Amino acid sequence: MTEASHTEPDRVLKSGEKIQLTDPKGRMHTIVLAAGELFHTHKGLIEHDAIIGRTEGIIVSNTGGIDFQVFRPRYEDFVLSMPRGAAVVYPKDSGLIVTLGDIFPGATVVEAGVGSGALSMALLRAVGPTGTLHSFELREEFATIAAGNIADFFNGRPDNWSVSVGDLSDELPQAHAPGSVDRVVLDMLTPWNTLDAVSRALAPGGVVIAYVATVPQLSRFVEALRATENFSEPESMEAMVRGWHVDGLAVRPDHRMIAHTGFLVMSRRMAPGVAPLEKKKRPQGAPASTEDVDAWTKPEVTDEAVGARVAQGKKLRRVMREAGKRLNQELPTSESNTQESNTEVSDTQESDTTGSKEDQ
């Protein structure tokens, strides 16, 4: 067990640590250091012993004469190379969730939809060792994958993190007293179904923030927030990140960018019995027809309907084995004999990470 606080790491790289190797073309390889092991590339080998005991920022060469930079992975690097059972919340969105959701040290935070654990890591860093994060997940497989990734990231399972398998609407009232939660983060298909439980759990002034993928989800959640009359006027947005190519006087935007990944909706809990200020609206035309409203709200929301990629079958079982593999390798033989022995976590992580459907 460990505290979920990333203090400055020791400068010396040790066996059991994850490192990132970057070649001259910007290709990244994330590996786990192990004494006596070799890292295989298609153009040569690198001895782990040539890295262990040295510091970050060095250059090592493989047997083919190709140089590699050596660094510990950043949060973004870890998230984009870790085993995934479900689509991850991209760093550009998790950064906004932490900042605009005002996730502060010492906060009591509830998260619904743990997925592969990417957002949970950012939330745990933000609340610090004095705060708590309680994650809820419908699928036990995803909870297992997230637990492995989180333990891997923090070098042990954080003491201030707990995960419950079940429906947030049913489990939240049992786990947290009314008005005892500071922030609620929803990353799920139908967040509007949880608002009764979220309203009771949030303290006055508390923030609910939802991450949704499609326009219909965005519309339904915003309208559901307004209908409760328990929340301030929702704020909605999306973030797009565009890198730039800079080489002397050749300065231009990159041809590819991380564009739409999801929408963020934020609102604050009003005091009990206090209705929010009604937003002034311009006069509109004729109201929507019943047929249009039904088409917008009635179809079932599923992973397939919103285009989410979710690991299934054999791939899901493989991801469950790989999550937290670095820590499992350090267990006694009797506890780790079912774990894979390969110390490499991810063969190739391209440095040009785009918001394509493949990544999501």
pLDDT in tens, 269-285: 999 999 998 877 766 66
Rounded mean pLDDT of 255-274? 92
pLDDT at 357: 36
pLDDT at 329: 53
How much is the mean pLDDT over the chain? 84
pLDDT at 354 over 50: no
The CA distance from 193 to 224, in Å, is: 9
Q: How many residues does the chain have?
A: 360
Lowest mean pLDDT among 46-60, 97-111, 339-353: 339-353
Strand order in the sheet with 108-112: 161-165, 132-137, 108-112, 181-186, 202-212, 263-268, 235-237
Q: Are 117 and 145 in contact (CB under 8 A)?
A: yes
pLDDT at 203: 97
Closest among 133, 105, 138, 102 to 119, alpha carbons compared: 133
The string over 24-50, giving b where at least 16 C-beta atoms fall within 10 Å of a residue's C-beta and e elsewhere, is eeebbbbbbbbeebebebeeeebebee
pLDDT at 283: 62
Neighbours of 184 (CB within 10 A): 28
pLDDT at 346: 40
